[in-house]
Structure 1
Amino acid sequence: SSGVYFLKQTVGNACGTIGILHAVGNITSQIKLGEGSYLENFFKVTAKMDCCERAAFLEADREMEMAHSVAASGGETEASDVVDTHFICFSCVNGQLYELDGRKAGPISHGASSPDTLLKDAAKVMVGMIEKNPDSNNFSVMALSKK
């Protein structure tokens, strides 16, 4: 998993935030983050850290904590304290499809992939996940894309 940006999830109910950080963290060479922005600084500071050090940094980061709290309370529907859902990220890094789940020990490779086949390759893995729990309706998909 060399070259894969990954961090552990040690903060409760932060899997959406972790998923976004995984998605953006694995494309920083392909996008331009705002100069001096929170994300640019976060990825610069954590670039050489291991996944547990990144988690500790995020956990101690008051700016992210405030942003997370504001976003979580910003909707019209009150957020439940009981959460039985989880967000993960699929990313193509160095020609491999990785499942990035902060609850796991590290990135999980699902084999060869490319930017052109990422959606199709990730969909195959997701279908397998759905087939393991066919009665659940707790699956949804979001994409971070140029187009």
Structure 2
Amino acid sequence: MVEELYSLDESNFKDVRPVYGLVFLFKWTGDDERHTTEPQNEPGLFFARQVVQNACATQAILSVLLNCADKIDIGETLSDFMTFTRDFPPEMKGLAISNSETIRSVHNGFSSQEPFVTDGKDDGGENQDAFHFVAFVPFNGKVFELDGLKSGPVNLGDIPGHGGNLASASCSGIHGDDWLSVASPAIEERIARHSAGEIRFNLLAIVKNRKHVATEERQRCMRRVEALDRELSSRGRVQQPEAAALSALKQEENFALESQRAAALRVAEECDVTVALEEAKFAQWRKENMRRKHDYVPFAVKLLDLLAQKTDFDDVVESMKSKAKHREDARTSAGEGSEGIK
């Protein structure tokens, strides 16, 4: 699943571990290539060139998933796709993504309805800013930046304590999330390239489903409780009348086991709360996706039609035209004033 992060602080990552990969959104500029090191190939690493517009987010997520197939159950469709494209060059892999009916269907299924075609310019006639997604993943003891607009993956360095050992696991692997200490400075460096006033960035973490994490933790806690119950039963729990007869050591040991049991039950209860919160969050996401993808144009057209039957729209239109003209005159006056000062 995907979790949005609001900083690169260690505490932020701690709450969502394990982190399989990061997806970073930033304002794209044409001179971005000048600031990066030379791309290099890495055996076994999935990297695809982006060959279609407005697909960088989907491609960034795929870059994480397909490089973590040993840690994530990516399903039959993506497994087959990964096997099919294994020996393809980056350009062919990009074409394979664009030609995959399943991937295209899922991608389009999450796009919002665009009933009106725009010219790609804002209200002032200026071209709108372009934004781009890139992925950061650990692989074979190294951290890579995967940008579909580049010719290949960029090696950001070795994971601390890993030394590029190819025998070690990729994607979180045996060194946990140490790879984040390599990826975070690279993201901070990207942010620093922009002007101080630029705040339009977004950081997403591809993580294990938090509901599954909590469920597995709860199961571990309950197994621990059952083991402690068996231990206490075999030892005999301390009853008040018997306390004086028991040795101080046995009382202390039993008390320690009871404390461990209570602690495990508390963690299990916290996991229940987490599961409930995650289920509520997913339900809310489903509602938001339904609303975002729904086509409201027929409803809006019908509403305007009914209003037109009961309202004199000519007066409304003239009023709006007048307000628009006043705003335009004000912008023009402000522009002339600025030119005069210069």
CA distance in 2, matches of 1:73, 1:83: 19
Pick which of 97-106 and 131-140 moved more: 131-140
1:19 to 57, 60, 77: 60
CA distance in 1, matches of 2:46, 2:197: 33
CA distance in 2, matches of 1:83, 1:14: 16
Match of 1:137 in 2: 199
TM-score by length of 2: 0.39
Match of 2:232 in 1: none
Per the TM alignment, residue 32 of structure 1 is displaced from its structure 2 partner at its CA by 2.1
Match of 1:118 in 2: 179
Instruction: Kindly report structure 1 stretches of 4+ aligned residues shifted beyond 3 Å.
Output: 80-83
Per the TM alignment, residue 59 of structure 1 is displaced from its structure 2 partner at its CA by 2.0
**3-state DSSP class of the match of 2:103?**
helix
Per the TM alignment, residue 123 of structure 1 is displaced from its structure 2 partner at its CA by 1.0
Match of 1:9 in 2: 50
2:110 to 71, 75, 100: 71
Residues 33, 62 of structure 1: alpha-carbon distance in 2 compared, 3 angstrom cutoff: closer
Letter of the aligned partner of 2:93 in structure 1? Answer: R
Per the TM alignment, residue 128 of structure 1 is displaced from its structure 2 partner at its CA by 0.6
Instruction: Note if contact 2:65-2:74 (Cα within 8 Å) is conserved in structure 1.
Output: no
Per the TM alignment, residue 99 of structure 1 is displaced from its structure 2 partner at its CA by 0.3
Residues 4, 63 of structure 1: alpha-carbon distance in 2 compared, 3 angstrom cutoff: same
Letter of the aligned partner of 2:155 in structure 1? Answer: S
Count of aligned pairs between the two proteins:
143
Structure 2: segments with no counterpart, 5+ residues:
1-41, 121-127, 161-171, 211-342
Letter of the aligned partner of 2:153 in structure 1? Answer: P
Structure 1: segments with no counterpart, 5+ residues:
none
**3-state DSSP class of the match of 1:104?**
coil
Per the TM alignment, residue 41 of structure 1 is displaced from its structure 2 partner at its CA by 2.1
Match of 2:188 in 1: 127
Letter of the aligned partner of 2:63 in structure 1? Answer: H
Instruction: Note if contact 1:85-1:138 (Cα within 8 Å) is conserved in structure 2.
Output: no
Alignment of 1:27-106 (within 5 A): 27-34=68-75, 36=76, 38-73=77-112, 84-106=130-152
**3-state DSSP class of the match of 2:202?**
coil
**3-state DSSP class of the match of 1:13?**
coil
CA distance in 2, matches of 1:63, 1:73: 18
CA distance in 1, matches of 2:101, 2:191: 36
More helix by share: 2
**3-state DSSP class of the match of 2:132?**
coil
Q: Which has the higher contact order (CA 8 A, sep 6+)?
A: 1
What value does the CA root-mean-square deviation take over the aligned residues? 2.4
CA distance in 2, matches of 1:4, 1:83: 31
Residues 63, 83 of structure 1: alpha-carbon distance in 2 compared, 3 angstrom cutoff: farther
TM-score by length of 1: 0.85
2:154 to 96, 102, 108: 108
Pick which of 104-113 and 127-136 moved more: 127-136
Letter of the aligned partner of 1:8 in structure 2? Answer: R
Instruction: Note if contact 1:13-1:83 (Cα within 8 Å) is conserved in structure 2.
Output: no
Structure number with larger C-alpha Rg = 2
CA distance in 2, matches of 1:70, 1:117: 35
Letter of the aligned partner of 2:201 in structure 1? Answer: F
